[in-house]
Amino acid sequence: MKKLVVASNNKGKLKEIREILKDKYEVVSMGEMGYYDDIVEDGETFYENALIKAKTISEFFGCDALADDSGLCVDALNGAPGVYSARYAGGHGDDKANRDLLLKNLEGEENRKAKFVSSIVLVKADGSVAQGVGETYGKIGFKEEGTNGFGYDCIFISDDLGVSFGLATDEQKNGVSHRYRGLIDLLKNL
């Protein structure tokens, strides 16, 4: 099976990518390959950030590298937190603080429509680039529900499933998630 390096050390993201691509690739993280530096994500779009990460790892190892940049876009907040989803509350990766701030910012708001967006970029060793995009729609709940997943999963109520991603099984979420749809779109574009 072909090895695919993912430009991430996010355990939740890696778990999902491994599960979704398990029949096609042996997925390894950049850390498992020996890359431990932070990659500065200073793009203004999900695509730009995914491209920065995939290109950095592809050039470093001279191999195909995949990156996902994704986030939550809330209608009532004009698309925020968007590309800043992982650092919405200030620190990078503080999921609880991010959820708490989002719920605070939505207090009294009736329109709780939201979507997760995922931009998947594959940079091949020869420098060529392929992209996939996936979205999944839902709404922001009023409180955390469930402990599965990561990030905003326990407050995002999926239109497809009728429950929060935090209550969904991995199999249920992976069948409708933005990341799943982005990976499927990428595979079609290869």
Question: What single-letter DSSP state applies at residue 170?
Answer: H
Q: How far is CA 151 from CA 19, 60, 146, 185, in A?
A: 18, 28, 12, 23
How far apart are the C-alpha atoms of 60 and 73, rounded to whole Å?
32
Rounded CA-CA distance 92/85 in Å is: 9
Q: What share of the chain is helix, strand, coil (3-state, %, to 5)?
A: 35, 25, 40
Hey, which residues are catalytic here? 69
156-158 and 129-140 beta bridge pairing: antiparallel
